[in-house]
């Protein structure tokens, strides 16, 4: 049985007892849509009154014995139920038992919190997946500082096909695209590279820093002048020809941000265009791209290995930290998500060091269970 993430258990229980925030509802809906048995589990605890009344009984209920009886009565009689239904019932029962046991252990008992994060939680490692045509894929788990994709691309039957690269939660990757462009990918990032005779295009979800190649030395020793390079996210396009820039672009366009470090870029959203110079940034405001000046003295955070908090909300900061350290975040106080922080920390820091810095502001308090961070407002003494 695949273990249910602790923050999902929390959201399932909370959804029966009180209203979820929009962000919490989105997380829960995403989990429910991942597998049919997830919906079944949710239906089993849907009755709020029954759910409340039965909580007190969970601590003494013999789930293991109950499941054995269930097995004997329903799963060992081939004439009464088909193989596929037996397998389905077995899976649902096992997942539900695991859910209820975990729920009681973590949320009804209310014990077992730690004051410090698990020391086995580490910063992102170098890892990722490359997806080729015809469903082929290559898993990357390497100490190399830069993974060259040119050789992989040259082996494809048609160089106009996509080259998809992704990093999971808790992973990072630096790649050299077939055109010579260097890309530093953050955790939970997907990059879809596509090249034709007239353009180079990347569809991006996540965050990446680009050093776009102006010219490229081919395998035959020829210096090739390259065509325009475009990064696309939804209806927003960033077009360049040889420059250094960072793009943060989730599936939600409201999170879009593009920062220019060298050269020039054109950012286009529909009919609206903004030309950026170094030290400028495009961001989303009320659904529309806007320009602002930023401080580049600290260098590029992602490429050079830093977290930079420049009046960022706690929810934005912890979303990045959760992806980098492969942890889950649960808010015990929803209002604390809007608190803003400033600072600069190494991405190689332990999670404990990051937490200590945030707690030192006196605004927020953390506690931990396994790989889940619980966030609360710091109570005045």
Q: Provide the CATH number for the domain around residue 361.
A: 3.55.50.30
- % residues pLDDT > 70 (the chain): 69
208-242, pLDDT tens digit by residue?
Answer: 999 998 876 555 666 667 788 999 998 899 998 77
Residue 210 within any structural domain of the chain: yes
Tokens of 169: 């939660």
Under 8 Å between Cβ of 294 and 300: no
Note down the domain range covering 350.
304-377
Residue 251 within any structural domain of the chain: yes
Q: What pLDDT is stored for residue 288 in this prediction?
A: 92
Sign of CA dihedral 293, 358, 205, 176: positive
pLDDT classification of 378: cutoffs 50, 70, 90: confident
Say yes or no to pLDDT of 246 above 60. yes
Say yes or no to pLDDT of 336 above 70. yes
Residues 133 and 94 in one domain: no
Q: What pLDDT is stored for residue 286 in this prediction?
A: 87
Residues 308 and 368 in one domain: yes
Q: What pLDDT is stored for residue 344 in this prediction?
A: 87
Q: What pLDDT is stored for residue 136 in this prediction?
A: 77
Q: What pLDDT is stored for residue 36 in this prediction?
A: 67
The predicted model gives 368-380 an average pLDDT of: 89
Helix (H) or strand (E) holding 323: helix 314-325
Q: What pLDDT is stored for residue 96 in this prediction?
A: 56
Say yes or no to pLDDT of 165 above 60. yes
The predicted model gives 257-263 an average pLDDT of: 91
Separation between Cα atoms, residue 347 and residue 168, nearest integer Å: 16
Residues 294 and 310 in one domain: no
Neighbours of 71 (CB within 10 A): 14
Residues 351 and 216 in one domain: no
Of 159 and 373, more confident: 373
Q: Of 249, 284, 301, which residue constitutes the final position of a domain?
A: 301
Q: What pLDDT is stored for residue 1 in this prediction?
A: 40
Residues 146 and 289 in one domain: yes
pLDDT classification of 320: cutoffs 50, 70, 90: very high
Tokens of 129: 């997946």
Q: What pLDDT is stored for residue 217 in this prediction?
A: 58
pLDDT classification of 157: cutoffs 50, 70, 90: very low
Of 49 and 322, more confident: 322
Give the β-pairing of 328-331 and 372-377: parallel
Residues 156 and 100 in one domain: no
Separation between Cα atoms, residue 198 and residue 196, nearest integer Å: 5
Separation between Cα atoms, residue 368 and residue 375, nearest integer Å: 9
| Beta carbons within 8 Å of 1's beta carbon, 6+ residues apart | 91, 94, 95, 98
Say yes or no to pLDDT of 275 above 90. yes
Q: What pLDDT is stored for residue 109 in this prediction?
A: 44
70-129, pLDDT tens digit by residue?
Answer: 556 555 555 555 555 555 555 555 555 555 555 544 444 444 688 899 999 999 999 999
Q: What pLDDT is stored for residue 255 in this prediction?
A: 76
- Give buried/exposed letters for 280-310 (b at 16+ CB in 10 A, else e): bbbbbeeeebeeeebeeeeebbbbeebbbbe
Residues 311 and 296 in one domain: no
Residue 1 within any structural domain of the chain: no
| Beta carbons within 8 Å of 293's beta carbon, 6+ residues apart | 279, 280, 281
Q: Of 253, 280, 301, which residue constitutes the final position of a domain?
A: 301
Q: How many domains in the chain?
A: 3
Residues 336 and 189 in one domain: no
Residue 349 within any structural domain of the chain: yes
Residues 170 and 235 in one domain: yes
Residue 312 within any structural domain of the chain: yes
Residues 146 and 283 in one domain: yes
In CATH, what number is assigned to the domain containing residue 150?
2.60.120.1440
Exposed, middle or buried: residue 266 (CB in 10 Å: 0-12, 13-18, 19+)? Answer: middle
Residue 118 within any structural domain of the chain: no
- The least confident of 69-73, 140-144, 326-330 is 69-73
Residue 352 within any structural domain of the chain: yes
What are the C-alpha distances in Å from 360 to residues 317, 357, 364? Answer: 15, 5, 8
- The least confident of 36-40, 180-184, 198-202, 245-249 is 36-40
pTM: 0.69
Say yes or no to pLDDT of 369 above 50. yes
Q: What pLDDT is stored for residue 170 in this prediction?
A: 95
Instruction: Tell me the average pLDDT of the chain.
Output: 79
Of 92 and 25, more confident: 25
pLDDT classification of 352: cutoffs 50, 70, 90: very high
Give the β-pairing of 171-176 and 125-131: parallel
| Beta carbons within 8 Å of 169's beta carbon, 6+ residues apart | 187, 188, 322, 323, 326
Q: Of 250, 274, 301, which residue constitutes the final position of a domain?
A: 301
Under 8 Å between Cβ of 164 and 190: yes
Relative orientation angle of helices 36-44 and 83-103, to the nearest 10 degrees: 60
Residues 10 and 67 in one domain: yes
The predicted model gives 169-191 an average pLDDT of: 93
Separation between Cα atoms, residue 84 and residue 194, nearest integer Å: 42
Q: What pLDDT is stored for residue 105 in this prediction?
A: 46
Residues 151 and 278 in one domain: yes
Separation between Cα atoms, residue 243 and residue 178, nearest integer Å: 17
Residue 120 within any structural domain of the chain: no
Tokens of 123: 């910063």
């Amino acid at each position: 049985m695949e273990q249910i993430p602790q923050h999902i258990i929390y959201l399932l229980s909370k959804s029966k007892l009180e209203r979820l925030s929009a962000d919490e509802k989105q997380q829960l809906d995403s989990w429910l849509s991942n597998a049919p048995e997830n919906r079944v589990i949710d239906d089993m605890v849907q009755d709020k009154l029954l759910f409340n009344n039965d909580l007190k009984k969970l601590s003494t209920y013999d789930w293991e014995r109950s499941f054995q009886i269930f097995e004997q009565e329903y799963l060992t009689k081939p004439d009464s139920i088909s193989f596929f239904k037996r397998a389905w019932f077995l899976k649902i029962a096992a997942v539900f038992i695991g859910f209820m046991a975990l729920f009681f252990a973590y949320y009804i008992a209310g014990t077992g919190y730690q004051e410090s994060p698990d020391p086995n939680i580490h910063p992102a490692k170098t890892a990722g997946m490359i997806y080729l045509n015809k469903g082929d894929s290559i898993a990357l788990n390497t100490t190399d500082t830069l993974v060259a994709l040119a050789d992989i691309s040259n082996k494809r039957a048609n160089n106009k096909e996509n080259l998809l690269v992704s990093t999971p939660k808790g992973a990072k990757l630096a790649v050299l695209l077939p055109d010579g462009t260097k890309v530093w990918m953050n955790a939970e990032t997907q990059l879809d590279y596509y090249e034709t005779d007239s353009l180079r295009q990347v569809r991006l979800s996540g965050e990446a820093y680009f050093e776009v190649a102006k010219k490229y030395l081919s395998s035959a020793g020829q210096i090739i002048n390259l065509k325009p390079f475009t990064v696309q996210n939804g209806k927003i396009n960033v077009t360049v020809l040889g420059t250094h820039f960072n793009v943060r672009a989730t599936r939600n366009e409201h999170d879009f941000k593009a920062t220019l470090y060298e050269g020039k870029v054109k950012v286009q959203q529909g009919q609206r265009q903004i030309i950026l110079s170094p030290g400028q940034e495009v961001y989303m405001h009320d659904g529309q791209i806007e320009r602002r000046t930023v401080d580049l003295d600290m260098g590029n955070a992602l490429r050079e290995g830093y977290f930079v908090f420049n009046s960022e909300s706690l929810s934005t900061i912890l979303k990045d930290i959760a992806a980098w350290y492969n942890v889950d975040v649960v808010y015990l106080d929803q209002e604390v998500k809007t608190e803003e922080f400033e600072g600069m920390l190494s991405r190689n820091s332990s999670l404990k060091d990051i937490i200590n810095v945030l707690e030192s502001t006196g605004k927020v308090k953390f506690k931990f269970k396994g790989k889940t961070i619980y966030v609360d407002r710091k109570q005045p003494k």
